[in-house]
Amino acid sequence: MREMTLPEGWTDDRNVTIRKDRTIPELTIAVMKVLDEFEGESAIVCAIAEDFGMTESDAWLAFDRVQGGIIRALTTQPGNCPDRAKDPLAWHAFHLTWETLPPLHWCRNEGSLAALGQLGMTPVGRSEIEQPEVRFMNTVVT
């Protein structure tokens, strides 16, 4: 894979700072939940910033990265999974969304799973991301 050189002043670190009593998976679910209830971008960002004790700038980044993970999962390409260390919100959103894809999806059949195994890739199951029950896009995400 070819690495891209970033323009001066840019970073590939997409981590955000939140209160110590909150987690990145909780933030990911919260952003996904408010996206489902969509009251406008500014309302979402203000609610997330307040609830997670974060700056407005980090809340905008969280809003963007969760959507990025959702879109990547919807491409149906396991290789589009974001880097967990550099983009944790997108990584969690990817896996939460991936689990909502239809079970007959081409990546979810036995042949595709075997092919992923040969590549050394293992899809992350819902059980590996322990979260409270949340509804997203009219689907229960646990």
Q: What is the pLDDT of residues 58-75, one digit of tens each?
A: 999 999 999 999 999 999
pLDDT in tens, 16-59: 888 999 999 999 898 888 878 777 788 889 989 999 999 999 99
Q: Who's near 99: CB < 8 A, 6+ residues apart?
A: 125, 126, 141
| pLDDT over 80 at 15, yes or no | yes
